[in-house]
């Protein structure tokens, strides 16, 4: 078996939590268990062929890049959102302040004046959902829109005033709000008004996303349901399916991108983790961030990207190999998009001892990926 294939097996076994014995020997023993009960632990030694069955290996080529390319999202009209906008009508609630004007009857209209704002001079909606108005007494307004309130007041004032002309507006919106938390410039509450507010508008009202925001992990909690949105598709591709009309007490949380990182290890000048930007990161960018390869020790044909496999795939990892011994490979490296928690590893030249490679990988990789989902298969 050639050294490149052997390297892949070594990486797969390391990801599985293998131990390294002196002299460069690799133990293909996987230990693990379910829960905290040590009695459920298992231990089994795997052959190279069995390890390879847990790993899918791909050569980075133009054909593979074409297969991995994500099609561009075409902007589409979100019909459900537009319908929700058109049907939206603000309902007055407790704590709101109303301004009620009866034309040609200044004694019934409290002027704001130069010393008071409309919110200070208006009619405050009490905890029982009512306001008090001259002549007609208590008026229940909670849960009604301004049109319904105006019609009610007009009908009741008609007993005392001939053909009253009434206007009702909301001077202060205080009864309903949404909460915006996480990686935004001004986290806090955003009031719901008579203008329908969407997810993106709530984020903008909170000052917009911070530099540490993860565009692809914005969660909306509504009651007992949680939904995740990808604002990157909304901002960059105009995908309005990633937008929604917000409701009272919705909680919008923008995750930080601390976990949105890749790991560059091996024969590079600055082996460490790197946070992916909002525009993503290519393999070429990751290698450049790491200062490039060590010319004297790196094997340009042994650049690997280790990616955790999907939980239901029956695999441990997917490994992509790039042979960067020619200029065309550099173009492919620029086109290969990394994903969150990818591990980029550059092998040493064939003259280097494998135990040195292992000693570099083991502390950094062990524990990054869980293999609990393989316990049933392995124990059989």
What integer is the mean pLDDT of 328-347? Answer: 89
Classify residue 21 as left (phi > 0), alpha (psi -120 to 50) or beta: beta
The CA distance from 218 to 89, in Å, is 26
Is 219's pLDDT higher than 90?
A: yes
Is 186's pLDDT higher than 90?
A: yes
For 120, other C-beta atoms within 10 Å of its C-beta total 14
Where does the pLDDT of residue 116 fall: very low under 50, low under 70, confident under 90, or very high at 90 and above? low
Average pLDDT of the chain is 78
Q: CB–CB of 287/264 below 8 Å?
A: yes
The CA distance from 165 to 153, in Å, is 10
Q: Return the minimum-mean-pLDDT range out of 50-59, 234-243, 358-367.
A: 358-367
**Sheet containing 166-172: which strands, arranged edge to edge?**
123-124, 97-102, 166-172
Is 328's pLDDT higher than 90?
A: no
Q: Which residue has the higher pLDDT, 72 or 290?
A: 290
What integer is the mean pLDDT of 323-329? Answer: 81
Q: What is the pLDDT of residue 298?
A: 87
What integer is the mean pLDDT of 292-312? Answer: 85
The CA distance from 316 to 311, in Å, is 8
- In the chain the domains, ranked by start, together with CATH numbers, are 3-69+260-379 (3.10.560.10), 97-172 (3.30.1950.10), 178-258 (3.10.560.10)
What integer is the mean pLDDT of 327-332? Answer: 84
Q: What is the pLDDT of residue 370?
A: 44
* Residue 89 CB partners (closer than 8 Å, separation 6+): 145
What integer is the mean pLDDT of 160-172? Answer: 92
Q: Return the minimum-mean-pLDDT range out of 50-54, 173-177, 284-288, 332-336.
A: 50-54
Q: Is 376 helix (H, G, I), strand (E, B) or coil?
A: helix
What integer is the mean pLDDT of 1-22? Answer: 41
Q: CB–CB of 168/150 below 8 Å?
A: yes
Distance set, CA 159 to CA 107, 136, 154, 165, 185 (Å): 17, 9, 9, 13, 53
Q: What is the pLDDT of residue 111?
A: 60
Q: What is the pLDDT of residues 141-160, one digit of tens each?
A: 999 999 999 999 999 999 99
- The label of the residue with tokens 């909606």 reads 125
* Burial class, 312, CB count within 10 angstroms (exposed 0-12 / middle 13-18 / buried 19+): exposed
Q: Which residue has the higher pLDDT, 20 or 309?
A: 309
Q: Return the minimum-mean-pLDDT range out of 67-71, 192-196, 321-325.
A: 67-71
Is 104's pLDDT higher than 80?
A: yes
Q: Could you tell me the two tokens for 378? A: 């392995």
Is 2's pLDDT higher than 50?
A: no
Is 315's pLDDT higher than 70?
A: yes
Q: What is the pLDDT of residue 18?
A: 35
Q: CB–CB of 18/28 below 8 Å?
A: yes
Q: What is the pLDDT of residue 164?
A: 92
Q: CB–CB of 5/48 below 8 Å?
A: no
Q: What is the pLDDT of residue 329?
A: 84
Q: Which residue has the higher pLDDT, 250 or 51?
A: 250
């Amino acid at each position: 078996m050639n050294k490149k294939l052997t390297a892949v097996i070594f990486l797969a076994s390391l990801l599985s939590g293998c131990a390294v014995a002196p002299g460069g020997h690799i133990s293909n023993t996987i230990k693990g268990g379910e829960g905290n009960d040590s009695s459920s632990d298992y231990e089994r030694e795997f052959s190279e062929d069995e390890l390879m069955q847990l790993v899918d290996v791909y050569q980075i080529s133009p054909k593979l890049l074409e297969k991995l390319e994500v099609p561009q999202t075409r902007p589409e009209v979100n019909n459900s959102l537009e319908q929700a906008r058109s049907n939206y009508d603000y309902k007055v609630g407790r704590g709101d302040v109303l301004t009620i004007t009866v034309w040609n009857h200044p004694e019934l209209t409290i002027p704001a004046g130069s010393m008071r704002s409309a919110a200070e001079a208006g009619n405050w909606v009490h905890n029982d959902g009512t306001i008090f108005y001259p002549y007609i007494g208590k008026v229940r307004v909670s849960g009604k829109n301004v049109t319904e309130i105006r019609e009610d007041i007009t009908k009741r004032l008609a007993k005392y005033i001939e053909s009253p002309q009434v206007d009702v507006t909301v001077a202060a919106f205080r009864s309903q709000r949404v909460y915006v938390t996480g990686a935004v410039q001004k986290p806090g509450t955003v009031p719901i008004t008579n203008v329908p507010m969407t997810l993106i508008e709530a984020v903008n009202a909170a000052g917009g996303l911070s530099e540490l925001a993860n565009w692809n992990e914005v969660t909306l909690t509504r009651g007992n349901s949680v939904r995740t949105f990808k604002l990157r598709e909304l901002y960059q591709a105009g995908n309005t399916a990633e937008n929604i009309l917000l409701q009272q007490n919705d909680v919008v949380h923008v995750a930080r991108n601390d976990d949105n990182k890749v790991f560059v290890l091996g024969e590079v000048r600055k082996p460490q983790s790197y946070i992916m930007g909002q525009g993503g990161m290519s393999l070429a960018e990751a290698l450049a961030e790491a200062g490039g390869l060590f010319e004297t020790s790196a094997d340009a044909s042994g650049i690997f990207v280790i990616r955790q496999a999907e939980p239901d795939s029956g695999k441990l990892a997917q490994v992509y190999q790039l042979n960067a011994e020619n200029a065309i490979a550099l173009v492919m490296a620029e086109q290969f998009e990394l994903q969150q928690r990818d591990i980029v590893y550059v092998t040493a030249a064939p003259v280097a001892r494998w135990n040195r490679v292992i000693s570099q990988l083991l502390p950094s990789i062990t524990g990054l990926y869980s293999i609990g989902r393989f316990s049933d298969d392995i124990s059989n």
